[in-house]
């Protein structure tokens, strides 16, 4: 570890920060994570310049709760944000969002003097007190709801389903992934002479599956139209990442910019175009395919280039990592569930960042403790050894009763610290049979 530290530079001062969040990307749908059919040269190059994580997790298998955990640095169950903000009645849905009393990390960075901008999908509430401009962003260009088409709309949408610049609705003529990249590039150039934080939560590659001709033409041999379009969407996302990194180079800010690329949850299996291989299942589930995501972190001169970090980390760690990098000492009343990853990645701390990680989605609960993973759904339990069975194919619950009991006790203790859901799950939740057990998908 000492040799590794000697190769790395000292941390000279607060960096610029760019956090790029993909939406519903398959775990194996970039070259660096195993794709053989979709070229992602810009994302792959980012991994070569930084750290690639093999065991990075988000706090939920669905978009909105996952983002609540990211923004708050806390398990979202601590404040009741267990399910998506969607519901049966629009009036009820509009009352749902990220608790205004929570201090988001963009708010902390803004208070520390960063120029802050967000370009993409919010999905954390639609009313004024939930709006990105009220939660730490000087600039907002995007939409407030959970999904949006990629081409100009042909009909009027509700205000939170349409694009906005800050609070003003607008019409966007460009393919939406390109537009979010364009706005991020503009923000970087505008703020090149000050510290800036750009949060770029693309809606790519969330449904609807849509791509422009420019990207479709890159896959002339794809026979399945849906697969071809999805591949094109990933390619557009990769181009967008490339455009953002190019802007950092053009403004000579790249060497002092911390970049993070990750995904909000696993790729859905219902679209039949994402690949989460070798993980089991996908979005909505607490199997690995729903909650383990690609993640890359680059900080020139501070983090080792081309390295791989194999211990479990969480999206909860983004908050303390970025605030510590920015030189911010958080007040004692800000209680976080994440940890600063930088000393772990630099070899200054040799222990794992987390003893255990937890999940809850209605009747479905999970814990990872070291190599062991427990999932409980109604009366059924699964126990997996992830070191030898990353695909969660062999249920060891019947043969490892002591380990099972330990994980169940820790899970129960964690649940005792959480609050009940602040609103119910979506009424049209589905049930799926897995290993002869009904698994209820609460969203």
Give mean pLDDT, residues 393-418: 98
| Residues paired with 372 in a beta bridge | 369, 385
Residue 428 is predicted with a pLDDT of 62
CATH assignment of the domain containing 388: 3.30.1120.10
For residue 114, the domain's CATH number is 3.40.720.10
Separation between Cα atoms, residue 146 and residue 310, nearest integer Å:
31
CB 142 within 8 A of CB 123: no
Which of 298, 324, 345 represents a domain boundary (last residue)?
345
Q: Please state the rounded mean pLDDT for residues 48-77.
A: 98
Is the residue at 276 inside a domain?
yes
My answer on whether 161 and 249 are in the same domain is yes
Whether 330 and 382 share a structural domain:
no
Span 406-415, average pLDDT: 98
User: What's the confidence (pLDDT) of residue 7?
Assistant: 54
Closest Cα to residue 146, out of 220, 186, 206? 206
Residues counted in the chain: 443
Res. 374 pLDDT band, cuts 50 70 90? very high
Residue 86: the pLDDT is 74
What is the model's pLDDT at position 228? 98
Domain boundary residue among 345, 369, 396? Answer: 345
Which of these ranges, 24-33, 79-88, 121-130, 270-279, has the smallest mean pLDDT?
79-88
Mean pLDDT along residues 264-293: 97
Return d(Cα 71, Cα 68) in angstroms, integer: 5
208: which residues sit within 8 A by CB, 6+ positions away? 147, 149, 150
Instruction: For residues 369 and 325, state if they share a domain.
Output: no
The partner residues of 78 in beta bridges, in order of sequence, read none
Cα–Cα distance measured from residue 57 to residue 26, given in angstroms and rounded to the nearest whole number:
13
Q: What share of the chain has pLDDT > 90, as a percent?
A: 85
* d(C-alpha 408, C-alpha 367), whole Å: 8
pTM (two decimals): 0.95
First to last CA, the chain: 43
Q: How far apart are CA 61 and CA 109, in angstroms?
A: 27
Rg (CA), the chain: 21
Regarding whether 321 and 283 lie in a shared domain, the answer is yes
- In terms of domains, do 61 and 182 share one? yes
Q: How far apart are CA 211 and CA 229, in angstroms?
A: 6
- Can you give the pLDDT at residue 302? 96
Is the residue at 351 inside a domain? no
336 and 378 both lie in a single domain: no
Q: For the segment 148-171, what is each residue's pLDDT rounded down to a tens digit?
A: 999 987 665 555 468 999 999 999
Task: Quote the number of domains for the chain.
Answer: 2
Domain assignment present for 9: no
Q: Mean pLDDT for the chain?
A: 93
- Let me know if residue 1 belongs to a domain: no
Looking at the structure, tell me whether residues 159 and 129 fall in a common domain.
Answer: yes
All residues at 6 or more sequence positions from 134 whose CB lies less than 8 Å from its CB, including other chains: 100, 128
Q: Which pLDDT score, from 0 to 100, does residue 334 have?
A: 85
pLDDT range class, residue 25, cuts 50, 70, 90:
very high
Report the alpha-carbon angle 196-199-201, nearest 5. 165
Q: How confident is the model at residue 3 (pLDDT cuts 50, 70, 90)?
A: very low
State mean pLDDT over 384-394. Answer: 98
Mean pLDDT of 326-347: 93
- Average pLDDT (416-434) is 86
Is 8 part of a structural domain of the chain? no
What count of Cα atoms within 13 Å lies in the side-chain half-sphere of residue 90? 5
275 located within any domain:
yes
**Same-domain check for residues 188 and 258:** yes
At 92 the pLDDT is 55
Q: Side-chain half-sphere of 421: how many Cα atoms within 13 Å?
A: 16
Which pLDDT band holds residue 437 (cuts at 50, 70, 90)? confident
Domain-located, residue 5: no
DSSP per position, 163-218: -EETTEE----S-HHHHHHHHHHHHHHHTTTS-EEEEEE--TTSSS----HHHHTT
Give the pLDDT mean for 227-234: 98
User: Torsions phi, psi of 96, nearest 5?
Assistant: -100, 135
The verdict on 94 and 219 lying in the same domain is yes
Same domain assignment for residues 178 and 42: yes
Print the SS3 string covering 99-118: CCCCCCHHHHHHHCCCEEEE
Q: Where a domain ends, among 323, 345, 367?
A: 345
3 located within any domain: no
pLDDT at position 439: 79
The whole-number pLDDT of residue 241 equals 98
pLDDT at position 332:
82
Chain-centroid distance, C-alpha 364: 20
pLDDT the model gives residue 88: 45
Q: Are residues 333 and 397 in the same domain?
A: no
Q: Answer for the pair 353, 341: CB distance below 8 angstroms, yes or no.
A: yes
| pLDDT score recorded for residue 430 | 76
Q: 127 and 71: one domain? A: yes
For 76, the domain range is 14-345
List b or e across 150-175, with b for residues whose CB sees 16 or more CB atoms inside 10 angstroms.
Answer: beeeeeeeeebbbbbeeeeeeebeeb
pLDDT for position 435: 82
pLDDT over 80 at 239, yes or no: yes
Rounded CA gap, 158 and 153, in Å?
Answer: 12
């Amino acid at each position: 570890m000492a040799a590794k530290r000697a190769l790395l530079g000292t941390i000279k001062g607060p960096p610029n920060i760019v956090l790029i969040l993909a939406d519903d990307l398959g775990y194996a749908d970039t070259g660096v994570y195993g794709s053989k059919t979709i070229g992602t040269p810009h994302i792959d190059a980012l991994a070569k310049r930084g750290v690639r994580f093999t065991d990075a997790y988000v706090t939920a298998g669905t978009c909105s709760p996952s983002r609540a955990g990211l923004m708050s640095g806390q398990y979202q169950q601590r404040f009741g944000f267990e399910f998506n903000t969607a519901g049966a009645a629009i009036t009820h849905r509009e009352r749902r969002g990220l608790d205004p009393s929570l201090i988001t990390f963009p708010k902390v960075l803004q208070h520390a003097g960063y120029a802050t901008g967000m370009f993409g999908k919010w999905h954390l509430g639609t009313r004024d007190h939930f709006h990105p401009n009220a939660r730490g962003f000087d600039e907002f260009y995007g939409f407030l709801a959970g999904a949006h088409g990629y081409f100009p709309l042909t009909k009027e949408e509700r205000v939170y389903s349409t694009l906005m610049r800050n609070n003003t609705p607008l019409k966007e003529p460009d393919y939406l992934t390109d537009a979010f990249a364009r706005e991020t590039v503009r923000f970087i150039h505008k703020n090149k002479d000050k510290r800036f934080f750009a949060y770029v939560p693309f809606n790519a590659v969330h449904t609807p599956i849509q791509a422009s001709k420019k990207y479709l033409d890159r896959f002339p041999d794809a026979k399945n139209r849906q697969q071809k379009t999805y591949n094109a969407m990933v390619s557009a996302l990769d181009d967008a990442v490339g455009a953002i990194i190019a802007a950092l180079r053009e403004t000579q800010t790249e060497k002092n910019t911390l970049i993070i690329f990750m995904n909000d949850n696993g790729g859905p299996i219902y679209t039949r175009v994402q690949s989460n291989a070798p993980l089991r299942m996908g979005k909505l589930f607490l199997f690995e395919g729903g909650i383990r995501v690609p993640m890359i972190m680059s900080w020139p001169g501070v983090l080792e280039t081309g390295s791989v970090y194999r211990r479990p980390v969480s999206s909860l760690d983004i908050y303390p990592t970025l605030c510590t990098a920015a030189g911010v000492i958080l007040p004692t009343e800000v209680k976080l569930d994440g940890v600063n990853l930088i000393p772990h990645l630099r070899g200054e701390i040799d222990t794992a960042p987390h003893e255990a990680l937890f999940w809850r989605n209605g009747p479905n609960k999970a814990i990872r403790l070291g190599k062991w993973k427990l999932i409980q759904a109604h009366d059924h339990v699964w126990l997996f050894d992830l070191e030898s069975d990353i695909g969660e194919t062999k249920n060891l619950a019947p043969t490892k009763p002591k380990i099972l009991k330990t994980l169940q006790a820790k899970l129960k203790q964690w649940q005792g610290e959480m609050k009940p859901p602040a609103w119910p799950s979506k009424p049209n939740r589905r049930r799926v049979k897995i290993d002869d057990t009904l698994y209820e998908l609460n969203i």
